[in-house]
Structure 1
Amino acid sequence: MNIITAHNGIGLDANNFFNNLQISKIDNAYDYLIQSPSTLRQTILELMDKEIQKGEEGYLRLKCNSVTDKGIIEKISEASQNGVKVDMVVRGICCILPGVEGATENVDVISLVGRFLEHARIYQFGKGDRAQIYISSADLMSRNTQRRVEIGTPVLDPDIRRYLLEFLDKQFKDTVNAKRLLPTGEYINVEGEYFDSHDFQIHYVPEYLSRQIEEIVETEEQPVPVDITNVEPTRLEAQSSEGFFKELWNKIKSIFS
């Protein structure tokens, strides 16, 4: 997943962030960006508190590689006990057990390990139009939230927000690669819980191929100088189409190799 922003405020924050890194200033606050070890963890906890105040109307959805931060785990448990639904996609280490009576009954955790490496961190607070979404370099681990320099940014563009919400929705419908974490600490397959098998990762392959084809076509349509002094006339017409299909085939092979 690649997202590029043109937001001036976020760009200015990023510029200041890297300038501060050069002089070893790591305890800064920014207008948009959240940074560990200064503001990232506290901002996440505050956003969770807002959902806790909404009770059963609150919602949390967290996607990351690992969850070990004790304070965040306790806050997730508190949210569950107050009726907040918590959905989590945690690929690796998860130190919170879902479905524990009186503690995490409203928490659901799945792990996705498939053909491609899951590495995005997406944090959603609230549902629908009021959902606040952050993407971040930080996992919810104490080493990331308290001892490393990490960064997070709000997603402000409505189209990108919508894309990320759909992205997360599709992950929770995966019945091929997903494993559900049980209160016992065991993982089970989720296949059979939905009418049709759904591989979240393969779902995006046609979209990726379509974009690659569009890029190749656009490149082919641009005039390219050709040295005709040593080229046979019969080869000139075939040169463009051969280049197109050769590059397309190489793109397809690279995806599945």
Structure 2
Amino acid sequence: MEKGLHYTEVISSLVKRQTLERADAGLRSLALLDRSRKVRRLMDLAIRDIQVEPIPSCLGEDQGAILVSNYPSVSQSLRAVIKVGCRLSGERPRLKAIARPEIVTEANTLLKVLGVDRFVFPVHKDQSGAYRLERRLVKEVLTYLGRPGNVLWLSITGRTRGNGLLEGDLRTGAVLFALKKGVPLVPMGFATKERKGRSRVEKVRFGEPIRAPRASTVGDFERADYVIDLTRLAMCQVARLLPSGQRGDFEDAEERLAEVKTRLGID
């Protein structure tokens, strides 16, 4: 009798899981953001509490770019990125993000219906617990950036500590992708405001594009420092778009920016 009940429970659990998986797949297959420009316009209107500055010309319909920003929180950054993506010109969706896999695996019903899984390159933790780009994912991102008009977003540090602007958390992936594909880095600042004890993005600002010179003239020994300085340059430009108190380690962004430009030989 007990064995029979056990088998019944196992079968019931399997059927329930399969039903949920089919329902989940059905929701994701709708992929509304991918299907209709009108849906993207409606989504833009629905996220009413975030103000977005006019989209700069460097993000025009045929212009590829890498958006780099601070990272106030996973959910708030995602909402801001979705709104910016809905604002980009063109009939097709043009923005994808490098983000934690939980964005997809723990997506709510709305995000599933919108097809958020189609717009995320999920980056997983390695054995040390740090988020790393797998070789396969790197190839997918490079292929994506090779198509005219495609835009990639990622946090400059990959962490939410210090509003995503702590120098100790610096990541060079954005610069390496930009150098490899010859596309500009476009600084983007998520300015926040406290509401009911939580920090929420209220405004998105854009900075001047950073067109990194080719590193072919930089020697092997200097290359690592060169890439790090370009990343610091991007961090300074992002910090300049934010009010005082939201700049993490870059409250003195203007001074740091001048120092980095001097080292890079940029006027």
Instruction: Mark yes or no: TM-score above 0.5.
Output: no
TM-score, normalisation: structure 2: 0.26
TM-score, normalisation: structure 1: 0.27
Higher fraction of helix: 2
Structure with greater Cα Rg: 1
